[in-house]
Structure 1
């Protein structure tokens, strides 16, 4: 998902190690030879040469180099090791890349260490890469820590190459990332929501509404998502979002989706993904419009304030 206008096409395929191997990295088990992954067939060690073979088969628009991502709670020594391994694997991947880095996103890691994050970002920017994949987020860091780390990384990266961050998908996280200088976000958030039976419902069109007394008029509002599997929606004949123009909302009700989900019908995920993708892309269009008219900071501030009031009202 693109937050700011770039020279990239509307839709691109970005490959990363976790996607290519259909698993999650087990960084603590990684070693100097390669990254270790838990797969359905057991633990698998992937060397840079193995990874490049996978990449050549997939032929993505962009691909992230093999990296040693670590969670926020590891010590300084482990953070340093992750950076050294990631840089070494990046060099190995580039040496095997027939396109000589033309489609490569250099991965920036370093855990919760600002110094190691800066070191990694500075070193990766010296390589012949097309952009940057900022990894290691969503692994235990708190909000304040994440903002500081993102700012530290983006300050060390050139502004003329795209920056993608992984695992940040919540609306507030997206806005924080854009404020820190992030250009692209992965779309795994939508897939995870859809597979869980969740539908996005948060308001996304604040920029298009008239401003009254300096603030957005946001009379509508709700939480981020609803779980359509629950019995609450079994007889709910309303749309997921009344104002949504997607195919799902125009033709089906919450009750119908609840039924499809609970009888394990494949159509449920198809209809849900249509809505969630449409809703999420609308959110990004609103962000781009706010940037275009110079009101992103206002959009961000008002969006967060409205969301807090919505959550507080829901808890009461």
Structure 2
């Protein structure tokens, strides 16, 4: 196989869901798949061995944060992210666009890029499309993301149009700046809640014949039903023979609905963030392990879960660790929560292969979308 390719193995007869395999230089990613987030070159509280045991096949790191600490030059001297963090499976780096634009009071946007003051040392940083790609080339992830402008929600259509058009122009500069054949550059579809802007952006990006495509600018404040509508309208416009990645989404319902629309890859900080707050994901529900109801509950979190935590520890023990603020609590809950979301997408994958997707996951699917709440 080429260094990067995507092969569709099966399709759902009733939806646009599909099963595929994404080939990368560091191994394959079976889709649909949830990808854990390791912002600073680690998935918080987990060792690479623990992470691999969750079923993770691809993880994320963040260009913006790694540029600030420890700096891409140090990662480069270590041999790239794979060597630096001792993770020999595929890695994706975000461009840093979302993080840069979240600094709303500290940055200035122009056609050239974004100038902002570092929250670490206060120095002025000029983040351009070329600079983002340069940093990502040094970091050495398998998949890198184009630098995009992520407009807030809500915003006027004029503001979103300007951001979407600028994102498309920046993509051209990213393509020119990208000089590593062992890294796949993904483009990002923006457009806010406006389906006409989304459609135009998707059609424009498809003309570049990139190795993969992402839908960005969701999960920035919109209600879940709007996200579902955006994804349902946009995903079918992206090439079928390339992986499709929905950025920043990681709940059961959102992932199931997105898979039904043809999405392949997901990422979200939910599993480890909840763990650090003493919460577990159990069959998609959030449990607060501080609650007294768990103090004498000696059953596992989920008797059907294959993770190390559920196979070895009780709810009572986890409750004790959380109440005692023991670091082990966050590790054990992270192991479970990451496994939970990866297992969910694996179950959907199996159901598509077995022609059971709409039967097994019907309670998450809602094909009746009202168009009136979306702008045209």
Q: CA deviation at 1:302?
A: 3.7
Q: What does residue 308 of structure 2 align with?
A: 247
Q: What does residue 26 of structure 1 align with?
A: 101
Q: Note closer, same or farther for the CA distance 1:246–1:163 as it changes in structure 2 (3 Å cut).
A: same
Distance 1:231 1:81 in 2: 51
Q: CA deviation at 1:87?
A: 1.2
Question: Is the 8 Å Cα contact of residues 71 and 139 (structure 1) preserved in structure 2?
Answer: yes
Q: Which has the higher helix share?
A: 1
Q: What does residue 81 of structure 1 align with?
A: 162
Question: Is the 8 Å Cα contact of residues 198 and 234 (structure 2) preserved in structure 1?
Answer: yes
Distance 2:117 2:195 in 1: 28
Tell me the matched-pair count: 284
Q: Note closer, same or farther for the CA distance 1:304–1:151 as it changes in structure 2 (3 Å cut).
A: closer
Q: Note closer, same or farther for the CA distance 1:183–1:231 as it changes in structure 2 (3 Å cut).
A: same
Q: CA deviation at 1:37?
A: 6.7
Deviates more, 1:230-239 or 1:191-200: 230-239
1:253-306 deviations in whole A, cap 9, x for unaligned?
Answer: 22222232233322222111211122222212210111012221222214569x
Q: CA deviation at 1:45?
A: 4.4
Deviates more, 1:36-45 or 1:25-34: 36-45
**Length-normalised TM-score, structure 1:** 0.80
Q: Note closer, same or farther for the CA distance 1:7–1:299 as it changes in structure 2 (3 Å cut).
A: same
Higher normalized contact order (CA 8 Å, seq sep 6+, divided by chain length): 2
Distance 1:256 1:108 in 2: 45
Question: Is the 8 Å Cα contact of residues 21 and 39 (structure 1) preserved in structure 2?
Answer: no
Distance 1:94 1:151 in 2: 27
Distance 1:122 1:101 in 2: 26
The equivalences for 1:71-110 within 5 A come to 71-99=152-180, 103-110=184-191
The equivalences for 1:1-316 within 5 A come to 4-8=19-23, 9-10=28-29, 11-15=57-61, 17=63, 20=66, 24-26=99-101, 29-35=108-114, 40-41=119-120, 44-99=125-180, 103-202=184-283, 224-303=285-364
Structure 2, gaps ≥5 residues long: 1-16, 30-56, 69-95, 367-376
Distance 2:316 2:18 in 1: 33
1:209-230 deviations in whole A, cap 9, x for unaligned?
Answer: xxxxxxxxxxxxxx61201133
Distance 1:200 1:169 in 2: 11
Distance 2:115 2:319 in 1: 39
**Length-normalised TM-score, structure 2:** 0.68
Question: Is the 8 Å Cα contact of residues 80 and 116 (structure 1) preserved in structure 2?
Answer: yes
Question: Residue 150 of structure 2: SS of its match in structure 1?
Answer: coil
